[in-house]
């Protein structure tokens, strides 16, 4: 006569439950590692995007300022610049020393590029100069900055001599 062995079924059931628990623990570990890295990568990509957009906006302004500066008296151009979120564009007046700059507050863990300096959480450009023959005037900058997110129209006009005015609007 065959004897009923209840322990064999109990051992198979215990092995199945242990296997299921092991799979659940592995899935939780994988999920935690992947989601954390994906969020970090996403934040870093957004930071790089904001820095790039701010730098492109500044370079666009400088190109128009230089173009107008070498034009005749009365030359005028309107340029539209997108300023990304947590970014600031600055204008510093000067006779041959005028500069357009930007700063971006970083949110992720992106490496700060070579052209940035200052606080590790804020990317501050080295400020990009206009040609030394241009006397840059920034009368519309009461706080010396335009904050993003913003789409701003700049009117660049050549006055008398080598004076180039940068006006907002």
Helix spans in the chain (H): 6-69
**With a threshold of 0.75, does the pTM exceed it?**
no
Q: Is residue 20 part of a domain?
A: yes
Would residue 151 count as lying in a domain? yes
Q: Which domain holds residue 159?
A: 6-168
Q: Is 42 a member of any domain?
A: yes
pLDDT tens, 70-112? 888 999 999 999 999 888 888 888 887 888 888 888 776 656 6
Residue 31 falls inside a structural domain:
yes
Query: Does residue 134 belong to any structural domain of this protein?
Result: yes
Burial environment of residue 120 by CB neighbours within 10 A (0 to 12, 13 to 18, 19 or more): exposed
100 lies in a domain? Answer: yes
User: Please, which residues bridge with residue 76 across strands?
Assistant: 157
| Residue 1 located in a structural domain | no
Query: How many Å apart are CA 7 and CA 18, to the nearest integer?
Result: 16
Q: Total structural domains in the chain?
A: 1
Instruction: Dump pLDDT digits (tens) for 106-148.
Output: 776 656 666 565 555 666 566 777 888 888 888 876 545 788 8
């Amino acid at each position: 006569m065959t004897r009923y062995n209840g322990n064999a079924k109990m051992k198979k059931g215990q092995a199945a439950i242990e296997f299921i628990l092991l799979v659940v623990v592995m899935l939780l570990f994988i999920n935690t590692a992947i989601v954390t890295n994906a969020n970090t990568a996403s934040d870093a990509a957004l930071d790089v995007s904001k820095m790039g957009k701010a730098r492109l906006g500044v370079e666009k302004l400088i190109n128009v300022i230089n173009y107008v500066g070498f034009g005749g008296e009365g030359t005028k151009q309107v340029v539209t610049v997108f300023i990304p979120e947590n970014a600031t564009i600055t204008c510093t007046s000067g006779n041959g020393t005028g500069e357009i700059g930007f700063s971006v507050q970083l949110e992720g863990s992106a490496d700060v590029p070579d052209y940035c300096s200052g606080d590790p959480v804020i990317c501050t450009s080295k400020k990009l100069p206009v040609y030394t023959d241009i006397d840059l005037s920034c009368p519309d900058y009461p706080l010396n900055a335009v904050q993003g997110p913003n789409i701003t129209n700049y009117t660049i006009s050549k006055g008398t001599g080598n004076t180039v005015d940068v006006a907002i609007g």
